[in-house]
């Protein structure tokens, strides 16, 4: 029999604290087996629905229920997050839905359009214009107004219309955090030179001129992205909307000839285990790297430890929370005192097949280090690695900046860098402050956080645990390169948490953690002996 679900219902005047509480409640164990609904007393129909892993805004009406978006925790005013609404935005949308119902609009289309505006516009919102457009879109008698607004000629599509139609199709298929970036490259200002042209009238010479203009104003990688996405867009129109796009008589995809010479740099560097350990030692001992700058936050040091000890991608790893550390499966009795960290498929990198849930067993040695830095950060944050604001986790940029600072690669904001104006004396740039390159002083070749993944892979491969490395890093398993001993995992283990292979991962993690911590102890002893000698030199 299916497990019985308990419903909790409450009516109250919602506050920002309630939003944070709802998000935390959805991620806690207390919500398991329950569905909670908190209705806002101040706004007609506005409701928070809380289920395991999700807290979602709804508007409940007698005739239908509208799902709006996920909750956005309280933060800087005016900041929008794709796919999320804060309390003020949700109340605004709910009020506008109530008014739109009196005008007998299609409420689903109206709500969808208005939420899209609220979650994609960042600094300035022309809410009057947004509501008018959403109102027109939801009014079937205003189809002509909508077509006019996006530039539809009523015959065949212009490049601008094609872009709008393609984004309507493509963006919902992408993860929310990638949508703005994807749209950005298809709406570069340089596209204005072809936006008003009919797609059927665009020639290769137009596209090559466009490519060269983009190259004048943007980095090669941006040119490559813009061309690649535009060619995908053209192929989509040719295959699925040939008549509307005016491409019904085109016999082949000629736009594939539109090219840009671009080659990504392959990264092959992998720091030694000793270099990784030495970097942690100097990061711990040089938290204040320049006068007038804040010290490195404990959460940032803890995050550096965590990436080094687990070799996870920083984007997903930094979203780790203490309440997402679970006991190992019963079949793994040998993992006493271990915990299994878990990330959802939304938190993991997508790739072609989308994100996959990921679990990683952590031995007691790793847990004690991570918890120590969480405690040093205040111990109250829902995130394992928090910065100055305990409501937010350390960012990838902050962690990268730590490595840059250790290498002396920091822009000096205390010095005026403006060059002299032509023909006038003007302000002169002053010399930057001297900053120590601690990597050079302590014999560390520059490396990035992603490079740790190559080091772990090589190390475990050399110890006949290449399959464990693949599982730990969240890669797809290539069974042709997995040692026979690794294939003998029990059926129960293989099916734990969507084939997470906890036992195999634990074997690799135990060996890697033991080796790295031994190297750290050795480097710490060396640092104590050489610190003053090195700095004096």
Series of mean pLDDT values for 10-residue runs along the chain (537 residues): 76 90 90 91 91 92 89 63 83 88 82 80 52 59 49 72 94 84 94 91 93 91 94 96 90 93 72 94 86 80 94 89 89 86 76 66 94 91 89 89 86 48 52 75 91 93 89 67 42 41 90 96 86 48
Does a structural domain hold residue 213? Answer: yes
CATH code (residue 199) = 1.10.150
pLDDT value of position 131: 64
The DSSP output letter for 445 is -
How far, in Å, are 1, 329, 360, 494, 503 from residue 332 at the CA level? 28, 6, 13, 12, 7
Does a structural domain hold residue 169? Answer: yes
Does a structural domain hold residue 226? Answer: yes
Alpha carbon distance 508, 510 (integer Å): 6
**Of the residues 222, 257, 292, which one is the last residue of a structural domain?**
257
- 114 and 13 assigned to the same domain: yes
- 134 and 244 assigned to the same domain: no
- 55 and 204 assigned to the same domain: no
- 85 and 174 assigned to the same domain: no
Does a structural domain hold residue 404? Answer: yes
299 touches 377 (CB < 8 A):
yes
Q: Please, which contacts does 324-332 make with residues 24 or more away whose CB atoms are closer than 8 Å?
A: 324/27, 325/362, 325/367, 328/361, 328/502, 328/506, 329/492, 329/493, 329/496, 329/497, 329/502, 331/490, 331/492, 331/493, 331/496, 331/503, 332/361, 332/493, 332/502, 332/503, 332/506
pLDDT value of position 346: 73
340 touches 327 (CB < 8 A):
yes
Does a structural domain hold residue 265? Answer: no
- 85 and 210 assigned to the same domain: no
- 367 and 298 assigned to the same domain: yes
- 140 and 179 assigned to the same domain: no
**Whether pTM exceeds 0.75:** no
Give the domain range for residue 244: 159-257
Q: Is 537 helix (H, G, I), strand (E, B) or coil?
A: coil
Torsion sign, CA atoms 249, 253, 257, 261: positive
**Of the residues 149, 168, 187, which one is the last residue of a structural domain?**
149
pLDDT value of position 428: 52
- 248 and 377 assigned to the same domain: no
508 touches 362 (CB < 8 A):
no
171 touches 222 (CB < 8 A):
no
Residue among 126, 138, 162 nearest 244 (CA)? 162
Does a structural domain hold residue 178? Answer: yes
Q: How many residues does the chain have?
A: 537
415 touches 428 (CB < 8 A):
no
**Of the residues 257, 289, 324, which one is the last residue of a structural domain?**
257
- 21 and 95 assigned to the same domain: yes
Alpha carbon distance 378, 44 (integer Å): 39
CB atoms within 10 A of CB 452: 23
- 328 and 379 assigned to the same domain: yes
Domain count, the chain: 3
- 40 and 114 assigned to the same domain: yes
pLDDT value of position 213: 93
Does a structural domain hold residue 359? Answer: yes
- 314 alpha-carbon distance from chain centroid: 9
Does a structural domain hold residue 106? Answer: yes
- 200 and 286 assigned to the same domain: no
């Amino acid at each position: 029999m299916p497990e019985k679900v308990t419903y909790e219902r409450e009516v109250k005047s919602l506050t920002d604290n309630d939003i944070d509480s709802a998000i935390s409640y959805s991620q806690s164990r207390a919500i398991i087996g329950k569905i909670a609904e908190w209705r806002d007393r101040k706004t007609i129909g506005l409701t928070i629905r809380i289920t395991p892993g999700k807290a979602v805004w709804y508007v409940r009406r007698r005739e239908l229920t509208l799902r709006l978006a996920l909750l956005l925790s309280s933060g800087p005013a005016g900041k929008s997050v794709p796919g999320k609404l804060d309390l003020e935005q949700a109340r605004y949308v709910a009020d506008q839905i109530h008014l739109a119902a009196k005008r007998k609009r299609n409420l689903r289309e109206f709500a969808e359009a208005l939420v899209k505006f609220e979650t994609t516009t960042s600094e300035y919102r022309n809410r009057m214009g947004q509501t008018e457009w959403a109102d027109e879109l939801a009014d079937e008698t205003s189809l002509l107004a909508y077509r006019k607004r996006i530039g539809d000629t009523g015959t065949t599509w212009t490049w601008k219309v094609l872009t709008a139609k393609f984004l309507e199709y493509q963006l919902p298929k992408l993860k929310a955090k990638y949508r703005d970036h994807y749209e950005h490259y298809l709406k570069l200002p340089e596209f204005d030179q072809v936006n008003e042209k009919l797609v059927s009238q665009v020639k290769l010479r137009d596209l090559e001129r466009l490519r060269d203009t983009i190259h004048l104003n943007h980095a090669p990688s941006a040119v490559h992205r813009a061309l690649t996405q535009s060619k995908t867009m053209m192929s989509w129109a040719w295959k699925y909307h040939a008549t509307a796009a005016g491409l019904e008589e085109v016999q082949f995809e000629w736009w594939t000839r539109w090219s840009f010479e671009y080659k990504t740099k392959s990264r092959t560097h992998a720091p030694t285990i000793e270099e990784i350990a030495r970097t942690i030692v100097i990061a711990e001992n040089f938290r204040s790297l320049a006068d007038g700058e804040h010290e490195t936050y404990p959460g940032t040091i803890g995050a550096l430890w965590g990436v080094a000890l687990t070799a996870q991608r920083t984007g997903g790893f930094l979203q780790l929370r203490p309440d997402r550390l679970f006991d190992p499966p019963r079949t793994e009795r040998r993992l006493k005192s271990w915990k299994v960290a878990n990330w959802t498929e939304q938190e993991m990198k997508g790739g072609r097949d989308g994100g996959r849930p990921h679990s990683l067993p952590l031995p007691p040695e790793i847990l004690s280090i991570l918890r120590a830095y969480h405690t040093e950060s205040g111990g109250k944050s829902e995130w394992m690695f928090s910065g100055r604001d305990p409501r937010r986790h350390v960012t990838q940029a902050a962690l990268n900046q730590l490595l840059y600072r250790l290498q002396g690669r920091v822009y000096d904001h205390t010095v005026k860098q403006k060059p002299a104006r032509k023909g006038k004396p003007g302000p002169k740039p002053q010399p930057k402050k001297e900053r120590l390159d601690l990597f050079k002083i302590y014999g560390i070749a520059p490396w990035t956080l992603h490079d740790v993944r190559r080091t772990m892979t090589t190390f475990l491969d050399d110890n006949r645990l290449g399959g464990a490395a693949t599982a730990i890093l969240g890669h797809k398993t290539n069974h042709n390169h997995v040692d026979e001993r690794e294939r003998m995992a029990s059926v129960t283990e293989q099916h734990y948490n969507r084939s997470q292979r906890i036992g195999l991962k634990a074997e690799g993690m135990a060996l890697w953690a033991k080796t790295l911590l031994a190297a750290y102890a050795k480097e710490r002893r060396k640092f104590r002996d050489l610190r003053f000698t090195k700095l004096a030199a």
